[in-house]
Structure 1
Amino acid sequence: MSAHGDVDLGHTLAGWTGTTVAGLGTAVAGVGLCLGLSPALWLGAALVVLAAATAWALHLAGWGKPSGPRPADQWDWRVRDTTARRGHPDCLGCRLAGRRTPATARDAAAPRTGPRPPLNPTPPHRTATARTS
């Protein structure tokens, strides 16, 4: 039994890669700050931005995880998420990538009020008005 008990801590390839590259970036920026080297500061900042982009890309490729706990057989960090192509509910990264999740049961059960708008509405007729100057 681990120190955290039997829980899904969300260790994924996307998480480990992003954390490693971000840690390297902060270390490079810290060395640059201590030695007064501005190129090292910029390199460290670029590595941190690269870490975020890399983790996001890996998440979208299925190497991340959706919010919330996963089944116990998917707790290993090497397990690929097969639902990532459709997008995860309430996931900012998936929404930024343009992935929309199917309507939830709550949205599907909500009754529609009022008539549906026509598919191709015709513009209202305009009457010719004379311009006055």
Structure 2
Amino acid sequence: MSLYDEGHTIAGWTGVGIVAVGGSVAGWGVCTASLPLILGGLAVVASSAVVTWVLHLSGWGKPPGVRPREQWGMRVRDTQAREGHPGCVGCRLAGRGRRRHATAPVTAAPLVGADAEPVRLSPVE
């Protein structure tokens, strides 16, 4: 099993569904030689990017990379969406995840107890 579950989110599948509908409408327009159908289908395809982006920013999309197993479910909202994801273009476009000022150092969360073991993400780690 893969450690990554990218795209298995409400935002991802909603975007795919909207693109499928828009592509079908545009294809129907090509078959019938109808410019309004082609343009309408392309508009639906373009709107899928906006819908997916809004869902991602509201917590229904997840950042790339390895996440703990309890966050792998498709119906689990992302808890980091408000702060923005590091390296995420969509979050950067929304003004989230910008670098902090030099006066506010970023520190890692402290370990609970001296003997704390790292959290295992999957059986292969």
User: What's the TM-score once normalised by structure 2's chain length?
Assistant: 0.75
Q: Alignment identity in percent?
A: 50
Q: Which has the higher contact order (CA 8 A, sep 6+)?
A: 2
Give, in whole Å, the separation in 2 of the partners of 1:53 and 1:39. Answer: 21
Amino acid at match of 1:20: G
Does 1:93 find its partner at 2:90?
yes
Match of 1:50 among 47, 50, 55: 47
Q: In the alignment, which residue of structure 2 is the partner of 1:22?
A: 19
Amino acid at match of 1:45: L
The superposition leaves residues 13-46 of structure 1 with CA deviations (integer Å, 9 ceiling, x where unpaired) of 0000011001111111011001101111011111
Do the aligned partners of residues 33 and 49 (structure 1) sit closer, same or farther apart at CA in structure 2, a change above 3 Å counting?
Answer: same
Q: In the alignment, which residue of structure 1 is the partner of 2:4?
A: 8
Q: In the alignment, which residue of structure 2 is the partner of 1:71?
A: 68
3-state SS of paired residue (2:83): coil
Runs of 4+ residues deviating >2 angstroms: 5-10, 100-103
Q: In the alignment, which residue of structure 1 is the partner of 2:59?
A: 62
Amino acid at match of 2:84: G
Q: 5+ unaligned residues in a row in structure 2: which ranges?
A: 107-125
Give, in whole Å, the separation in 2 of the partners of 1:101 and 1:77. Answer: 27
Q: In the alignment, which residue of structure 1 is the partner of 2:114?
A: none
Match of 2:80 among 54, 79, 83: 83
- Residue 7 of structure 1, CA deviation: 3.8
Does 1:41 find its partner at 2:38?
yes
User: What's the TM-score once normalised by structure 1's chain length?
Assistant: 0.70
How many equivalent residue pairs?
Answer: 101
RMSD: 1.6
Contact 1:86 1:100 in 2 (8 A): yes
